[in-house]
Amino acid sequence: MMVGVSEDRPTPEQDPDDRPGGTGAPPRQRLRLLLAVAATLFALDLVTKIIVVARIRPGEPVSIIGDFVELVLVRNPGAAFSMATGMTWLLTLIATAVVIGVLRIGRTLRSTLWAIGLGGVLGGALGNLMDRLFRAPGPLQGHVVDFVSVGWWPVFNVADSAIVCGAILLVTLTVFGFEPDGTRYKDKEKAAPTTDTAPPAEPGADRERRAGDPTPEDSAGPDSAAGEETADSATADGKETAA
């Protein structure tokens, strides 16, 4: 009889230390990694925005690689890459919900890569949320500072890049079966209990059956013995008559 393995807690076989999706470390350590990634990206976004606002004037781009890569100051009332420019207040609420959701998920994380991906999303969401809360024209209506222009791509900032890269990583992990708890779909399928249609016979029962099987002598039974006696007597009578 096979014993099923619970899917709530990964076994060492499901979550080895060298697997990309998880190392079996306590969730608190993964939350620390998530917060460290988020804090780093948030600080980088904040510092670059302060420098750009102080050094670059609107309409005066700074060339980095000809006309293909430039630094240009743009005040964006919309979402990432200047989308949904007329829904600033709604985007602020969505960003707040994203921050809360990521923090809730981060409390149960066991996967290093999931922690990095969610950290990127959290850091980017916090960076743009700070602009919407504290920049002009006012709370919930603040315009996000964008400054990186690459070719035909809409102008963006560090926070936008963090959100996009983090989301791509999370989608990739989902496609390849890595879950936030560090397990994989394939591992769970292998560990799932299997049901047998007919349980195998016990070896002891086979031995007992063999021991209880009638032998050829037993299968003859009393009728065969009686038949043999009648045949012997008939032979003896025949001999007497012939004599």
How do beta strands 69-76 and 62-65 pair?
antiparallel
Q: Which two tokens stand for residue 119?
A: 């950290």
- The residues pairing with 149 across neighbouring beta strands, listed in sequence order, are 70
Quick one: which of 33, 13, 3, 6 has its CA closest to 180? 33
Please give the backbone phi and psi of residue 91, each rounded to the nearest 5 degrees, phi first. Answer: -65, -35
Residues known to be catalytic: 146, 160
Quick one: which of 25, 20, 37 has its CA closest to 178? 20
In the numeric block, the tokens 């969401």 are attached to 125
Distance CA 153, CA 81 (A): 8
The answer to whether the CB of 118 falls within 8 A of the CB of 109 is yes
